[in-house]
């Protein structure tokens, strides 16, 4: 069984590496936004785990079961549809990557604060291939029934956004690696390095993050000056370089009509989407509206926009 699990890990790495290759063109290394596993955490101790404020206990094996994720705080949400809590075949349980709070991890996505119709449109695009995800979502969407997609979308649409990522400007950051689940962690040996033109997102509490704790968020380190530059791009379009985001996404960046919220989302998620809009990997009806805004953006612009947008806390 252990050998089979490692076969799956290497197969997953191969698929993710292929998807990341399109982001390594012209000498660019964008693995900060498109994480590729290049290390692993030490094996967790056996036995039940608990979290502050929760009456539940799970073993690490149960926590890592992507078809049956832990629900640490079941009283904090309405009863979830079967597919959110229990996957089948290629259709992994939604709550595994997006958490039972909907806030998700940086390598996946925050699903709170979106209309059900928007989520269903994205799932339709994943299913058709108009929107591509090198890791999982195309295969998951194809394995889901329309009823499962509707039920999950309507349930996630009931979840409220919450502050989840603290954005901090820095010249240097801890040396890191990408471990299990494509999450980034600090190198055990410590050390620092220049941040360069990257966003480096780390768990606020590594143990709680790897336990899929929906109460423990993330720290995102961004280049010094990126918040001010991002604000200019987002709020004014920076002298015609792009289109002010608030025109479509609302003054608070929390969405306007059928246009989704972007304020407070994971910064590396925002960066990934801007790159995918720009290189044509993300398509569909919604994507067509983003082609012109991203056309002239540089890598530095994308980092700045992602930093500023992520710093805009969602409504309480």
Residue 26 has pLDDT above 60, yes or no: no
CA–CA dist 104, 292 (Å, integer):
29
CA–CA dist 4, 280 (Å, integer):
35
Q: Please, what is the average pLDDT of the chain?
A: 91
CA–CA dist 204, 220 (Å, integer):
10
What are the residue boundaries of the structural domains of the chain, listed by start? 2-156, 165-311
Residue 153 has pLDDT above 70, yes or no: yes
- Looking at CATH, the fold of the domain delimited by 2-156 is given as Cytochrome Bc1 Complex; Chain D, domain 2 (1.10.760)
Residue 315 has pLDDT above 80, yes or no: no
Domain 2-156 and domain 165-311, same fold? Reply is yes
CA–CA dist 25, 262 (Å, integer):
27
Question: What does the pLDDT look like over 191-223, one tens digit per residue?
Answer: 999 999 999 999 999 999 999 999 999 999 999
The CATH architecture that domain 165-311 belongs to is Orthogonal Bundle (1.10)
| Rounded average pLDDT over 10-16 | 41
Lowest mean pLDDT among 17-31, 193-207, 234-248, 287-301: 17-31
> Distances in Å between the alpha carbon of 197 and those of 113, 158, 169, 248, 303?
29, 36, 12, 27, 7
């Amino acid at each position: 069984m252990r050998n089979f699990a490692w076969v799956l890990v290497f197969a997953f790495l191969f698929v993710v590496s292929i998807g990341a290759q399109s982001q390594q063109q012209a000498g660019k290394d964008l693995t900060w936004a498109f994480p590729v596993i290049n290390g692993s955490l030490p094996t967790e101790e056996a036995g039940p785990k608990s979290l502050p404020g929760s009456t539940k206990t799970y073993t690490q094996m149960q926590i890592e079961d992507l078809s049956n994720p832990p629900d640490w705080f079941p009283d904090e949400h309405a009863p979830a549809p079967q597919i959110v809590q229990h996957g089948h075949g290629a259709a992994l349980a939604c709550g595994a990557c997006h958490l039972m709070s909907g806030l998700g991890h940086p390598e996946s996505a925050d699903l709170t604060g979106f209309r059900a119709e928007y989520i269903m449109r994205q799932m339709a695009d994943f299913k058709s291939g108009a929107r591509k995800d090198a890791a999982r979502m195309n295969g998951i969407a194809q394995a889901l029934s329309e009823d499962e997609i509707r039920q999950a979308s309507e349930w996630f649409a009931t979840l409220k956004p919450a502050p989840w990522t603290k954005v901090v400007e820095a010249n240097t950051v801890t040396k890191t690696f990408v471990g299990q689940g494509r999450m980034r962690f600090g190198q055990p040996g410590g050390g620092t390095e220049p941040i360069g033109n990257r966003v480096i997102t780390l768990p606020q509490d590594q143990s709680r993050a790897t336990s899929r704790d929906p109460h423990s968020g993330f720290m995102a380190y961004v280049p010094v000056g990126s918040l001010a530059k991002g604000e200019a791009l987002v709020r004014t379009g920076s002298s015609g370089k792009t289109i002010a985001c608030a025109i479509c996404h609302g003054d608070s960046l929390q969405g306007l009509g059928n246009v989704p919220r972007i304020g407070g989302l994971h910064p590396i998620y925002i960066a990934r989407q801007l790159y995918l809009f720009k290189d044509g990997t993300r398509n569909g009806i919604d994507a067509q509206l983003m082609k012109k805004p991203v056309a002239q953006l540089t890598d530095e612009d994308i980092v700045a926009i992602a930093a500023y947008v992520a710093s805009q806390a969602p409504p309480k």
